[in-house]
Structure 1
Amino acid sequence: MTTRSVTESEEPAAPSGASLPARPRGRGKNVRWGIAVLCFGGLAVNYLDRSTLSVALPSMSDDLRIGPETQGFILSAFFFTYALCQLPAGALLDKYGVKRVFAIGAIWWSVATVGMGLVRGVGSLVGARMLLGAGEAAGYPAPAKAVSRWFPRHERTLANSVWDNGARVGTAIALPLVTMLVSAFHWRVAFIACGLLGVLWIIGWWRLYHEPADHPKLTTEERAYIEAGGAHTDETAAQEADAPEVRWRDLFRYRTVWGMMLGFFCLNYVIYFFITWFPSYLVDERGFDLLKLGFFGTVPGLVAIFGSLLGGFTADRLLRKGWSTTRVRKTCLVSGTLCSSVIALTVVVPTASGALALLSLSYASLTFSTASVASLPADVAPTAGHVASLAGIQNFASNVAGILGPIVTGFLLASSGGSYVVPLLVSGALSVVGALTYAFVIKRVEPLPVR
């Protein structure tokens, strides 16, 4: 792996607020934030569709006769294709652009979601779940790429927290929406309805998303602000055209990339406990009925939204104060990931309200870090043409945890008579490992040296 010499000079501090370009003011000069909101909508639908199964699974299990071990495999089937397809998705986004590839991915996952409402057995359910994973692979690297092109460096973390909160909102909406649809109609109706929501977003995306150079409503002032702040624009790519080529496979030679992969693996293992097993935990371990689940089950996801925004605001504020990118990223990543280990303390809390409070704190701490995680690909990309590729590589590793986590949790539950003690302790331990990774494996957060 390629590393920098320890004798090299320390990373310079980021520009202070006084040296930053003036922020455009007034109506019609915040088009970039509309792009962030558009990406937020895409990820919200993305996570709504993937979370529908977790919420509907208790009802589906009776109809399709699915046991705990089989449930774990069904939940993990999504992540096999989702993780593997991260790698080509990132490369395709860098080659063909955000607008086209994100739209194709959304069409794919919407069709797969509708298909899950038509399954007749475990085999077809697993197949539809794997197709869903393949289509949703563009959902993470696409917004990361879009933000790198639309935002200056000192606004990127907050912008990333905006679209990344689509994950929390989509997951939170899934609980009341899907439980309502299942209770009022049938679990099949829930899948079909959620799939059709994706079609509405696709129409909006295709009509509204443009690159900065082509956007009809982007003012000259705002475009100059974006470019002066270090966005990865077409002009940046043209300037880098004569630089030595960094092949996709060469990205794996860097220690920083492996640190990004391992850190996000640990962080996502815990996040996907909330996405996959959290509803079942509330029902089986804490005795929630369907109505109580739909109401209180949204609390951690809603708290996590504020955690993500706080993480984005804090990081960008520190950058504007002149902190180096390395110092800012490590502060947010290590503190948030370490604090999320409180998930392990739920095993000694006797009340459901106390456990829900700790779980909410854990989830919010994780999302405090995710805004910085989403910013790492643009921070370390050797050229503008590597941002989505690095985002895909990072997310590939994180979703290996999505494959292993539900399976491991399912087997631990089966072997312990349904107790969640060991699964929660494992999640807490991995939070600590993730914090140590961001602290010591990743050295400097800066563009990877071109060899």
Structure 2
Amino acid sequence: MKPESTTLSGQTLVPTTRTGKYRYVVLAMVTLGIAINYLDRATISVALPDMQADLGFSEAVAGMVLAAFFWTYAGGQLPAGFLAGKLGPRKLVTLSALVFGLVTMLTGLAWGIVSLVVLRLLLGLGESPAYPAAAQVVSEWFPRRERSFASGTFNNGNPIGSTLCIPLVALLVTSLGWRPAFFVAGGIAVVYAAAWWLFYRSPRESQRLSPGELAHIESDQETRANAGDEPVAVPWGSLFRHRTVWAMMIGFFCVNFVAYFFITWFPTYLVNTYNLTLLKFGFIGMIPGIASMLGGWTGGLVSDWLVRRGTDLTKARKICLVGGLLGTSVIALAVVSPSVTTALVALSVSYFSSTFAAASVWCLPADVAPTAAHVGSLGGIQNAASNCAGIVSPVLIGVITGMTSSFAVPMLIAGCVAIIGALNYAFFLPRLRPLEP
């Protein structure tokens, strides 16, 4: 079958095997932005024990402070997804990184619970556009057969940022105190905002993209996304009428219910349960994060390999989604671990499996979007639902841990939620195809 051609400035472009790799430079910049996003949001998790000692608040209050971020982060996903299609990734990512960078720096000046909650609310609002914009970038810069790896790669910004945060913030907190840690993390985001604005252009606006690579990118795009198509009127609210969208929301909620344990309570769990110093935790605490990076890339490669070998798209995505969530449920085994070593093994398997599944989760918006402009909207919708887990999970863990003086019950609950997510993707998610207007 002859590869589909496209045109640019009157020229016919035919994809070839030698297409160039500039799209991977764009992907690296997107991944870096997600990593900085998570660095800024996770700084408080590592600094939390020192902040509690300094400002004097309990585990239950700490859970409320951690959850405050997700109140606005989850709510901000819907407008952020809409804006990703309207403003475009260049403007939206720049504004987002500038806002959350400045707010992170201001967190270093917090004087009490009220100020912390307000700043966490603002941080959630500032960070909310990151994932919908990233999904929009991948849908523009990668053909369908490469999107799972690309999605898994930018989603790996989560464990990269969270993992790098552990030794960096631990070193800053132990040497300078917790406040300078926020100044440094926020400053990095402000620098990134300027770099993204100067760097990013869409594929057809980029001066660094070869005609062959542009043809390769557009050779496997959905027909609805090709230039010259008539616009299709799809009311944003009508997306919620589709079972596919609700299955995406439920499934991603279950993925993130477990994942946010690692971003919020994981440092406190390991330090308190196994009596570790913060500096020692800063090194061994990186192990599950490294496992999660490998999981994201592995999940992306497996899903893309299945698609390339002719596996039905729905089956290819479900294999990774269901298998990943079943593996994620292994977090429950950490409660019976007799040592920090066995606990780290269980947690590493769980986090690996979580990001393995998430690589396919972030392909779904492009797989089912009725128009190219709706990729960001669908990404925002499913991410809004997933981050409701960020509201529930930290508070639930904080309250139950405060009542029982143990993380056992919350981690058992997390394992059960992962199994529910696997069942949702296996039986409730219908066949993947563009949603009917």
Check whether TM > 0.5. Answer: yes
Among 81, 96, 113, the residue aligned to 1:105: 96
1:148 and 1:232 in contact (8 A); partners too: no
Aligned pair 1:41/2:32, yes or no? yes
Which amino acid letter does the alignment assign opposite residue 308 of structure 2? R
Further displaced range: 216-225 or 282-291: 282-291
1:24 and 1:222 in contact (8 A); partners too: no
- For 2:222 and 2:353, the matched residues in 1 are separated by 28
Aligned pair 1:79/2:67, yes or no? no
1:312 and 1:368 in contact (8 A); partners too: yes
- For 2:230 and 2:28, the matched residues in 1 are separated by 29
Q: How does 1:335-346 map to 2 (within 5 A)?
A: 335-346=323-334
| 4+ aligned runs moved over 3 Å, structure 1 | 17-24
Which amino acid letter does the alignment assign opposite residue 378 of structure 1? A
Cα distance change, pair 322–18 in 1 and its aligned pair in 2 (3 A): farther
Which amino acid letter does the alignment assign opposite residue 445 of structure 1? L
- For 1:215 and 1:232, the matched residues in 2 are separated by 22
Which amino acid letter does the alignment assign opposite residue 250 of structure 2? L
Q: For residue 351 of structure 1, report the CA deviation from its aligned partner.
A: 1.2
Q: After superposition, give the CA deviation of every residue in 1:307-338 in whole Å (9 maximum; x if it has no partner).
A: 11000001111111001110100000000001
Q: After superposition, give the CA deviation of every residue in 1:334-371 in whole Å (9 maximum; x if it has no partner).
A: 00001111111111121110010010000000100111
- For 2:374 and 2:321, the matched residues in 1 are separated by 22
Q: Aligned-pair RMSD on alpha carbons?
A: 1.7
Aligned pair 1:239/2:229, yes or no? yes
Q: For residue 200 of structure 1, report the CA deviation from its aligned partner.
A: 1.7
Match of 1:154? 145
Report how many residues are paired. 429
2:4 and 2:219 in contact (8 A); partners too: no
Match of 2:434? 447
Q: After superposition, give the CA deviation of every residue in 1:12-71 in whole Å (9 maximum; x if it has no partner).
A: xxx9x9999855437xx1111111101001000000000000110100111111111100
Aligned pair 1:381/2:369, yes or no? yes
Match of 1:7? none
Match of 1:201? 192
Q: How does 1:194-343 map to 2 (within 5 A)?
A: 194-230=185-221, 236=226, 238-241=228-231, 243=232, 245-343=233-331
1:157 and 1:315 in contact (8 A); partners too: yes
1:72 and 1:410 in contact (8 A); partners too: yes
Q: TM-score by structure 2 length?
A: 0.96
Q: Any gaps of 5 or more consecutive residues in structure 1?
A: 1-14
Match of 1:117? 108
Q: After superposition, give the CA deviation of every residue in 1:413-434 in whole Å (9 maximum; x if it has no partner).
A: 1111x21110110000000000
Match of 1:4? none
Q: After superposition, give the CA deviation of every residue in 1:86-111 in whole Å (9 maximum; x if it has no partner).
A: 00000011111111011111111001
Which amino acid letter does the alignment assign opposite residue 264 of structure 2? T
Among 24, 34, 43, the residue aligned to 1:52: 43
SS state at 1:444 partner: coil
Q: Any gaps of 5 or more consecutive residues in structure 2?
A: 6-13
Which amino acid letter does the alignment assign opposite residue 318 of structure 2? K
Cα distance change, pair 23–202 in 1 and its aligned pair in 2 (3 A): farther
Q: For residue 162 of structure 1, report the CA deviation from its aligned partner.
A: 1.3
Match of 1:173? 164
- For 2:222 and 2:212, the matched residues in 1 are separated by 14
Q: For residue 238 of structure 1, report the CA deviation from its aligned partner.
A: 4.0
- For 1:348 and 1:202, the matched residues in 2 are separated by 44
Q: For residue 133 of structure 1, report the CA deviation from its aligned partner.
A: 0.3
Which amino acid letter does the alignment assign opposite residue 105 of structure 2? V
1:149 and 1:232 in contact (8 A); partners too: no
1:148 and 1:231 in contact (8 A); partners too: no
Which amino acid letter does the alignment assign opposite residue 339 of structure 1? G
1:117 and 1:188 in contact (8 A); partners too: yes
Q: After superposition, give the CA deviation of every residue in 1:163-208 in whole Å (9 maximum; x if it has no partner).
A: 1111110000111000101111111100001000012211221111
- For 1:346 and 1:161, the matched residues in 2 are separated by 26
Among 389, 413, 419, the residue aligned to 1:426: 413
- For 2:112 and 2:223, the matched residues in 1 are separated by 47
SS state at 1:140 partner: helix
2:370 and 2:435 in contact (8 A); partners too: yes
Which amino acid letter does the alignment assign opposite residue 422 of structure 1? V
Match of 2:389? 401
Match of 1:163? 154
Which amino acid letter does the alignment assign opposite residue 239 of structure 1? D
Q: For residue 232 of structure 1, report the CA deviation from its aligned partner.
A: 8.1
Q: After superposition, give the CA deviation of every residue in 1:383-423 in whole Å (9 maximum; x if it has no partner).
A: 1110000000000000000000000001101111x211101
2:15 and 2:219 in contact (8 A); partners too: no
Q: How does 1:86-101 map to 2 (within 5 A)?
A: 86-101=77-92
2:15 and 2:213 in contact (8 A); partners too: no
Among 22, 25, 34, the residue aligned to 2:18: 25
- For 1:207 and 1:93, the matched residues in 2 are separated by 18
Q: For residue 237 of structure 1, report the CA deviation from its aligned partner.
A: 5.6
Which amino acid letter does the alignment assign opposite residue 386 of structure 1? H
SS state at 1:322 partner: coil
- For 1:222 and 1:108, the matched residues in 2 are separated by 34
Q: TM-score by structure 1 length?
A: 0.93
Match of 1:350? 338
Percent identity between the aligned chains?
46
